[in-house]
Amino acid sequence: MAKVLCDFRFLLLVAAGVFIYIQMRLFATQSEYADRLAAAVEAENHCTSQMRSLIDQISLQQGRIVALEEERKLQDQECGQMKSLVQDLQRKGLQRMIDKEQVPLAAVVIMACNRADYLERTVNSVLKYQRSISSKYPLFVSQDGSHPSVKSKALSYDQLTYMQHLDFEPVQTERPGELIAYYKIARHYKWALDQLFYKHNFSRVIILEDDMEIAPDFFDYFEAASTILDKDRSIMAVSSWNDNGQKQFVHDPYELYRSDFFPGLGWMLPRYTWDELSPKWPKAYWDDWLRLKENHKGRQFIRPEVCRTYNFGEHGSSLGQFFKQYLEPIKLNDVQVDWKSMDLSYLLEDKYTKHFSDIVRKAKPVHGADLVLKAHNIDGDVRIKYEDQSDFENIARQFGIFQEWKDGVPRTAYKGIVVFRYQTPRRIFLVGPESLKLLGIEDA
């Protein structure tokens, strides 16, 4: 019994030991698991932190990528704009090279003084037709004096070159009561033409005043006429003006004439003529000076039937003289004539006398009183003979044309003959006492 009890106790002791061992192992396992769990939680937290950091970095990178993409797009746009600008500059540079190689046909100069509003109207009229052919016709404004609004107005246009004539030398008139303005104008013209021909080296200059508008075919007309001017030294200049160019006296925009009377008011002068005129240029009244026989020396001027310029200058140096009667009613051509296709060789000296005499010869002679009525009742052209200046002035007064003469030559006349339309396509020829003989026509 005691042995059994002893064995039972031993077994209990063994079982207790086993239990204690199991508990210790279990505790150790739990501790190890707890440590591992803590480590796992810590690792997970670390991983989560790293993930968050990575996500933040990715978000930051994405933001940077978006910003870089926007910057790239902006740079692409700027590059595109820069490329376009470079191409534009290259085109302009090429155009400038072409323009430099393009020999100008003529410089165009607008003579100005103190009328800024008039100058603006004139410049705008010229630019309307000159812009597309500016390399052929470089535009200048030459101002006499220092009127600030005129200078400011001229400098406001980048399509033209500004020149300023400052003349402080006192003016001494030759006769009492003369206007100083005419002396200043003559000085200004000489200075400006010297500048354009000798400093800028142009071969031709078209002279306009600051109170003119031009016709649509103004430049084509001068280009066509320049070929005749170059071939025929008996032509002193080409004008765009007809003194008898009022609406009731013109009809044919294609018709051109030679004239012994200098028309002015929009005219083209070649350098070889200026070489002759410049050294002896007058102190005043330069236009009437050009009408003296001693200066034009038998040379003539080309003029159109229908004016290619219109003078709107009621207020100026001439104080509006003749404006209402002769200038305001002028017909400015509105027909786009294809001058390039026109044969103008009939204007050459060796052909024109025959050309003109053939026209005059066909005109029906009219004599006696009531000349206007008789002319009006005749179909076709009419010629009326005048005996002297007084007789001419009387007949001209009846029709309403210019009566003025200069140095023995009526305005617009060729060999003493003044031609104009009279309210119809018919032409009226006022024929001087020697005109028919000069043309080789038998007097009827």
- Decide: residue 325, CB within 10 A, 0-12 exposed, 13-18 middle, 19+ buried: exposed
Q: Are the C-beta atoms of 251 and 425 separated by less than 8 Å? A: yes
**99, 287, 288, 391: which is the annotated catalytic residue?**
287
Which residues make up the CATH 3.10.180.20 domain(s) of the chain?
359-439
For residue 164, list its beta bridge partners.
Answer: 143
Active site residue 287: yes
Amino acid 42: pLDDT? 67
Query: Would you say residue 331 has pLDDT above 70?
Result: yes
Give the chain's mean pLDDT: 87
Q: Within a 10 A sphere around the Cβ of 409, how many other Cβ atoms?
A: 22
Q: Which residue in 387, 405, 420 sits closest to 260, CA to CA?
A: 405
Handedness of CA 152, 154, 156, 158 (dihedral sign): negative
Query: Which of 78-87, 293-302, 318-327 is predicted least confidently?
Result: 78-87
DSSP state string for 91-124: HHHHHHHHHHHSPPS-EEEEEESS-HHHHHHHHH
Helices (H) and strands (E) counted in the chain, each on its own, are 12, 16
Angle, to 10 degrees, between the axis of helix 116-130 and the axis of helix 148-155? 20
Cα separation, 234 vs 440, in Å, equals 20
Band (325; pLDDT cuts 50, 70, 90): confident
Query: Would you say residue 238 has pLDDT above 70?
Result: yes
> Rounded to an integer, what is the distance from CA 295 to the centroid of its chain?
33
Which residues make up the CATH 3.90.550.10 domain(s) of the chain?
101-347
Q: Are the C-beta atoms of 438 and 416 separated by less than 8 Å? A: yes
In this predicted model, what pLDDT tens digit does every residue of 412-438 receive, in sequence order? 999 999 999 998 899 999 999 999 999
Q: Are the C-beta atoms of 123 and 157 separated by less than 8 Å? A: yes
CATH top class, domain 101-347: alpha beta
Q: Which CATH superfamily is domain 359-439 in?
A: N-Acetylglucosaminyltransferase I, Domain 2 (3.10.180.20)
Q: What's the whole-number mean pLDDT along residues 262-275?
A: 97
In this predicted model, what pLDDT tens digit does every residue of 123-156 receive, in sequence order? 999 999 999 999 999 999 999 999 999 999 999 9
CA distances from 7 to 110, 144, 293, 330, 334 (A): 145, 147, 170, 155, 147
**Residue 140 carries which side chain, given as an amino acid letter?**
F
Query: Would you say residue 318 has pLDDT above 80?
Result: no
Encode 151-177: b = buried (16+ Cβ within 10 Å), e = exposed: bebbeebeebbbbebeeeeeeeeeeee
Instruction: Provide the terminal-to-terminal Cα distance of the chain, rounded to the nearest Å.
Output: 192
In this predicted model, what pLDDT tens digit does every residue of 398-407 receive, in sequence order? 999 999 999 9
Amino acid 328: pLDDT? 92
Q: What contacts 190, CB < 8 A, 6 or more positions away? A: 278, 281, 286
Amino acid 313: pLDDT? 84
Band (254; pLDDT cuts 50, 70, 90): very high
Band (94; pLDDT cuts 50, 70, 90): very low
Backbone angles phi, psi at 205, to 5 degrees: -135, 135
Band (40; pLDDT cuts 50, 70, 90): low
Cα separation, 408 vs 257, in Å, equals 19
For residue 418, list its beta bridge partners.
Answer: 430
Instruction: Name the percent of the chain lying above pLDDT 90.
Output: 68
DSSP state string for 348-365: SHHHHHHHHHHHHHHSEE
Q: What contacts 315, CB < 8 A, 6 or more positions away? A: 115
What is the pairing mode between strands 267-270 and 204-209?
antiparallel
Encode 104-124: b = buried (16+ Cβ within 10 Å), e = exposed: bbbbbbbbbbbbbebbbbbbe
Angle, to 10 degrees, between the axis of helix 116-130 and the axis of helix 218-231? 80
Amino acid 46: pLDDT? 65
Identify the three-state secondary structure at position 202. coil
CA distances from 275 to 37, 194, 198, 411, 440 (A): 114, 9, 10, 26, 35
Q: Are the C-beta atoms of 314 and 323 separated by less than 8 Å? A: yes
Structural tokens at position 403: 């009566």
Say which DSSP state 412 is in.
T
